[in-house]
Structure 1
Amino acid sequence: MPMRLQPILSLATLVLVCTATSLVLAQEQASTPSIESNTLSNVRQVTSGMVKAGEGYFSPDGKRIVYQAVPPQYPFYQIYTQPLAGGEPELVSTGRGRTTCAYFTVDGKNILFSSSHSDPNMKQTEDEEIAKQEEERRTGQRRRYSWDFDPYTDIYLKDMKSGELTRLTTAQGYDAEGAFSYDGKKIAFCSDRDGDPDLYIMDADGSNLKQLTDAKGYDGGPFISPNGKWIVFRSDRKEEGFLQIYVISVDGEKEFALTDNVGVNWAPYWHPTKPYIIWAGADHSKPGRPNYDLWLMKYEETEDAIKPGPIWRITDSAAADVLPVFSPDGKKLMWTSTRTDDHSSQLFIADFLFPEDEPQEEK
């Protein structure tokens, strides 16, 4: 899923941003004990062999993961799945086009993802991207990367046993960032079919489409709460390029902001059993390039509202830590990080414990 700065940035940008500042931050942190051991233990890398990989999600039984990765011989992200215990990645997407945002069905038999492989000019699109990447390697100069809201991106469902691919959206425009409700009956997603990225919800078969937001700016990255009443998402409606975390009721009638700061807050995700939301954020109120870390908020739910509560900082690595998700039992945390030897984005996982002390830092 993309994040939206100015312009919209991808994980590639995070690699560049954090590489530029990682040495300075590492020196500063060398004399300061890390806070990560307060909540994270047994941290390990779970993807390798790809140019970059990220945005991973667990299967319902917690034994497999699905994620997006750029393979060595292709310029765009593709979708892969593999056993969490180890094994070779299995290609889920078609192998062509831009792909993003994969998610398991509640029975674990099918995988939802978005793809632009229906692009009628696919060969030209691929050749142009390959040429740009070759020029970057030749000159050593990287372009400022922005996420492509590819107008041929649609949402698909793949039967992992038969290989059958079902197309769930057909409107012109970017349809992506989809995720199932916990009962598997609904899909929340982002679409710019009306010219502006907004939130939509539909039945699992693509029927009964309903638009939920219509604010100016980007609304995206939606996830439906465990009880099915709320959707958490990120939006830059307050100030372009600066994302904040919001929740909206599934009927679109009630909406609340959970963050309000000078920064970027994105990729929010619900804990499956307790009233917590985790996300990635960076403070843009100070000079210099900020670093992305993971943040945890305890919220209060009433009959008609979600109220923000105390916030804890979860990571403090000099690398970028983004796109956090909990395992189905809530005992593990998986996220995308550039804390690799080559600073490439890869998936990491850790055992997770809730913080016992008072909030360390308000954000």
Structure 2
Amino acid sequence: MDLSTKETKLVSTGLGVTTCAYFEHPKCENIIYASTHLGGSSCPPKPDYSRGYVWKLYPDYDIFKSTRDGKILEQMTNSPGYDAEATVAFDGSKVLYTSISSGDLEVWSMNTDGSNKTQLTNRLGYDGGAFFNSTATKIVWRVYHPKTEKEIADYKSLLEENSIRPMALQIWTMNADGTNKKQVTNNEAANFGPYFFPNSNRIIFSSNLHDPKGRDFDLYAINVDGTGLERITYFNGFDGFPMFSPDGKYLVFASNRNQIKRGDTNLFIAEWNYK
């Protein structure tokens, strides 16, 4: 999308289903995204909600890199099962992504040419949506670790069906090499879409913490040590997936506000008084 003209251009293949697109820093000449197009030209079937609200982990998802015009396409992963949710360090040194190649949903890293794939998490449960901080020394990601026998059985059963139920997702941080894992949030809410402030001292994320029914999501900020929780938006609906511009002057996020029809989600940019 051109920010001045709002003109959009299709740069993926237009086949299958595509998710989690991200510019390859620092030059932003390439785009990294996940797609199922090698598994078929049609969109995969929608999730079965008979067991409640679930995310579908389509096994045909692999991660690809293309030029900004979409003309040159390179496959970066080819393991069986779900590979998606890729993001890139600002210095262009590494790619983070979520993969089920180990048998569970874990955060992995690799070089921007697809080499040196390294598993960073290894605890039963969902680990995903990972981002580097501005210096590529820290990682923030969202976590669901089942604890009780029932939670573990339910998680494993859904995983066999290539699905996951996003329950009480928590925010965690770790070093870029996977060491020094620390839990940041500790509540019964669904916390997701975490992103570091430019100074790496705080994290912005989306949560339904304030809504007893769990349907209303707003943006929050918190210190990396779990203190100083602050609510940022107060919209009666969905605000999520916040990200700062590298200089910290702007915040972009997705929201249902100003929707033409129920369920519409659009992108919004706000100036940020960064301190």
Is 1:318 equivalent to 2:236 in the alignment? yes
Aligned partner letter, 2:122: D
1:36-115 equivalences under 5 Å are 82-106=1-25, 107-115=27-35
Corresponding residue for residue 168 of structure 1: 76
Identical amino acids, percent of aligned pairs: 35
Q: Deviations over 1:179-225 (max 9, x none)?
A: 11121010011001122110101111111111011111100000011
Aligned residues: 252
Report the Cα distance in structure 1 between the residues aligned to 2:81 and 2:74, rounded to whole angstroms.
18
Is 1:225 equivalent to 2:133 in the alignment? yes
Aligned partner letter, 1:204: T
Report the Cα distance in structure 2 between the residues aligned to 1:98 and 1:210, rounded to whole angstroms.
26
Residue in structure 2 matching 1:199, options 102, 107, 126: 107
1:149 deviation in Å? Answer: 0.6
Contact 1:100 1:176 in 2 (8 A): yes
What secondary structure does 1:90 align onto? coil
Is 1:294 equivalent to 2:219 in the alignment? yes
Between 1 and 2, higher relative CO (CA 8 Å, sep ≥ 6) is seen in 1
Is 1:331 equivalent to 2:262 in the alignment? no
Aligned partner letter, 2:205: W
What's the TM-score once normalised by structure 1's chain length? Answer: 0.65
Report the Cα distance in structure 1 between the residues aligned to 2:31 and 2:195, rounded to whole angstroms.
19
Contact 1:109 1:161 in 2 (8 A): no
Aligned partner letter, 1:243: L
1:319 deviation in Å? Answer: 1.6
Going from structure 1 to structure 2, the CA distance change for 1:144 and 1:238 (only over 3 Å counts) comes to closer
1:146 deviation in Å? Answer: 3.2
Going from structure 1 to structure 2, the CA distance change for 1:263 and 1:163 (only over 3 Å counts) comes to same
Report the Cα distance in structure 2 between the residues aligned to 1:98 and 1:251, rounded to whole angstroms.
31
1:92-241 equivalences under 5 Å are 92-106=11-25, 107-120=27-40, 122-123=41-42, 125=43, 128=45, 146-161=54-69, 163-237=71-145, 241=167
Aligned partner letter, 1:168: M
Is 1:278 equivalent to 2:196 in the alignment? no
Report the Cα distance in structure 1 between the residues aligned to 2:53 and 2:226, rounded to whole angstroms.
33
Report the Cα distance in structure 1 between the residues aligned to 2:119 and 2:35, rounded to whole angstroms.
21
Is 1:346 equivalent to 2:266 in the alignment? yes
Gaps of 5+ in 1: 1-81, 133-141, 300-306, 356-363
Report the Cα distance in structure 1 between the residues aligned to 2:87 and 2:67, rounded to whole angstroms.
16
Aligned partner letter, 1:146: V
Residue in structure 1 matching 2:183, options 234, 237, 257: 257
Contact 1:283 1:290 in 2 (8 A): no
Aligned partner letter, 2:182: F
Is 1:243 equivalent to 2:169 in the alignment? yes
Going from structure 1 to structure 2, the CA distance change for 1:92 and 1:154 (only over 3 Å counts) comes to same
1:97 deviation in Å? Answer: 1.1
Greater percentage in helix:
1
Contact 1:264 1:284 in 2 (8 A): no
Aligned partner letter, 1:339: R
Contact 1:262 1:284 in 2 (8 A): no
1:274 deviation in Å? Answer: 5.2
Please, what is the CA RMSD of the aligned residues?
2.3
Report the Cα distance in structure 1 between the residues aligned to 2:93 and 2:57, rounded to whole angstroms.
26
Report the Cα distance in structure 2 between the residues aligned to 1:296 and 1:208, rounded to whole angstroms.
33
Contact 1:218 1:235 in 2 (8 A): yes
Report the Cα distance in structure 1 between the residues aligned to 2:265 and 2:53, rounded to whole angstroms.
15
Report the Cα distance in structure 1 between the residues aligned to 2:109 and 2:67, rounded to whole angstroms.
22
Aligned partner letter, 1:266: F
Corresponding residue for residue 63 of structure 1: none
Report the Cα distance in structure 1 between the residues aligned to 2:211 and 2:7, rounded to whole angstroms.
43
Going from structure 1 to structure 2, the CA distance change for 1:289 and 1:310 (only over 3 Å counts) comes to closer
Gaps of 5+ in 2: 152-166
Report the Cα distance in structure 1 between the residues aligned to 2:136 and 2:64, rounded to whole angstroms.
22
Report the Cα distance in structure 2 between the residues aligned to 1:143 and 1:353, rounded to whole angstroms.
43
What's the TM-score once normalised by structure 2's chain length? Answer: 0.85
Q: Deviations over 1:73-98 (max 9, x none)?
A: xxxxxxxxx11112321112110112
Q: Which runs of 4+ in 1 moved over 6 A?
A: none
What secondary structure does 1:101 align onto? strand
**Higher Cα Rg, which structure:** 1
Contact 1:246 1:255 in 2 (8 A): yes
Report the Cα distance in structure 1 between the residues aligned to 2:99 and 2:220, rounded to whole angstroms.
27
Report the Cα distance in structure 2 between the residues aligned to 1:205 and 1:345, rounded to whole angstroms.
33
1:148 deviation in Å? Answer: 1.7
